[in-house]
Structure 1
Amino acid sequence: MADERQQDTRSRLTASRRRVLAAAALAPVLTGVPAGARALSPGPQDRALVEPVMTELADWADVGEALGRPGDMRRFMYHTGLPRRDLTVFSRGIRINPALVLGSHVSFVRYADHSTLLMGDAVVTECELQHFSDVLQEHGIMQTAIHKHLLAHEPDVWWVHLHAHGHDP
């Protein structure tokens, strides 16, 4: 009986994983983006480049508060690490140190036009992935990649690359 339940759970997770991967692969087609279009990065002929500006840690206090932890400055970039110390992940029977590969992080850059760029990488479990994706989309944060870093591991963990650009960091 336990084997049947375990097989059913794996079957549902595999189907869920396939739906997420199919949606990621089909997203450009479903949104009507023509093949070869560069919708996210117009060329210099379309828009002048805007230079990043130097900021200080104090400029990002509201962002640190919203993230629930302070960040640090790395050249002109505000960076916050968010390690997943709550996960116990095994790959081929070996426990993975969270500092090795289970680190989420986000970085922010301010530009001369007062806009802000967010880029980052989030580590989420298979069970968290759908809700996490929904919340990102609600807030206008794009997922530029969804993939795995480890060949075989339990529980299933996904790495989601993040990108957003706007006037409200």
Structure 2
Amino acid sequence: MRNKLMLVTGICASLLAWGASAEKFDWRIFAESYVTAAHAQDIDWKKVDETLGRKPAAVAGDVRRYGFPRTDLSVTLDGVTIKPALALGGWVAFKPAHGGVMAMGDLVLLESEINPVMSKMIASGLEITAVHNHLLRANPATFYMHIAGHGDAIKVATAIRDGLAESKAPLTAAASSAPPPAVDLDTAQLDQIIGAKGTNNGGVYQFGVPRRDPIKQAGMALTPGGPLGLATGIGFQPTGGGKAAITGDFVLTGDEVNPVIMELRTHGIEVTALHSHMLDEEPRLFFMHFWANDDAIKLAKGLRAALDKTASTKS
């Protein structure tokens, strides 16, 4: 109660301070920040963690992202045994919103798991926004179900957990204090070429390159974009001798799609999927997945050339 009173007091004080120049102020942005803070205070995140069977893998701003890697699967592609962090890392993100939370996610499923999981999630009030492949020739084949939900945080988390229970995805995160395997690549050079700082996630060197343009859904700013799946994701998994298997997805507007395809193909990188992940985002976005296994520095240069065709940031 005290926090809410302080919040109302802050709103009133700010209204008085800005009253003289209201016509110059974006009231929607002003209101959104306070409303989001109020909702965040009301959410029992500990209960959400318990419901999902894990702590968030990342907390950025007001977004909490939970990882659901398919550590139970052994997937190979072109002779490469894929690490979970490279292409089997399902996730769900929660952001405080009017009426509770907005949730979105990307779940990794086998073909036989798609309909049972979908049926359960629909019955629980979640939306299915996409079902598709990310990879080609993988054995076993994996598919990716994008979901969305809105409402009470515990109810949304319960719906996600109950839906995943229809698959063989681990419902409890494995506890491990061991450091990730070393990445046998020139990561400093990769950082320089990509123009971002990568991180070692389970032996996979990962990059998240955000877009410069704002992205909204149902009028709500989707920030920060990275944990909500709105940054171009790139992963390098070492395969020996300076080589790496790469995959991930570019986040693109329509006019960027074919220029990026041309750059990737010119640099020997296979385009494996092109599709949407959401239903009503602004601007309309497309997600392009890719694959190659070759010299890591060569591939990084090809990825950088493709990034240069997009409205992506570069540090």
Q: TM-score range by the shorter chain?
A: 0.5 to 0.7
2: CA distance, partners of 1:51 / 1:145: 28
1:107 matched residue in structure 2:
93
1:98 aligns to 2:84 (yes or no): yes
1:29 matched residue in structure 2:
none
Superposition TM-score, scaled by structure 1 size? 0.64
Residue 155 (structure 1) shift: 0.8
1:116 aligns to 2:101 (yes or no): yes
2:32 aligned to 48, 51, 61, which one? 51
In the alignment of these two chains, the number of paired residues is: 120
Q: Identity percentage over the alignment?
A: 33
Partner secondary structure for residue 32 of structure 2: coil
The CA deviation string for residues 26-45 of structure 1, in whole angstroms up to 9 with x for no partner, is xxxxxxxxxxxxxxxxxxxx
Q: Which runs of 4+ in 1 moved over 4 A?
A: none
Residue 136 (structure 1) shift: 0.9
1:144 matched residue in structure 2:
129
1:63 aligns to 2:48 (yes or no): yes
1:20 matched residue in structure 2:
none
2: CA distance, partners of 1:108 / 1:93: 36
Structure ID, larger Rg: 2
The CA deviation string for residues 71-123 of structure 1, in whole angstroms up to 9 with x for no partner, is 14211111111111111001122211111110111111112x33210101100
1:76 aligns to 2:62 (yes or no): yes
- Higher RCO (CA-CA < 8 Å; seq separation 6+): 1
Q: Which amino acid aligns with 2:55?
A: P
The CA deviation string for residues 35-74 of structure 1, in whole angstroms up to 9 with x for no partner, is xxxxxxxxxxxxx897362437x83111111111111421
Structure 1 contact 108–117 (Cα < 8 Å) conserved: yes
Structure 1 contact 60–78 (Cα < 8 Å) conserved: no
Q: Which amino acid aligns with 1:133?
A: M
The CA deviation string for residues 9-36 of structure 1, in whole angstroms up to 9 with x for no partner, is xxxxxxxxxxxxxxxxxxxxxxxxxxxx
1:126 matched residue in structure 2:
111
Structure 1 contact 143–161 (Cα < 8 Å) conserved: yes
2:140 aligned to 138, 145, 155, which one? 155
Superposition TM-score, scaled by structure 2 size? 0.36
* Structure 2: gaps (5+ residues): 1-27, 157-315
How large is the RMSD of aligned CA atoms in angstroms? Answer: 2.2
2: CA distance, partners of 1:75 / 1:106: 16
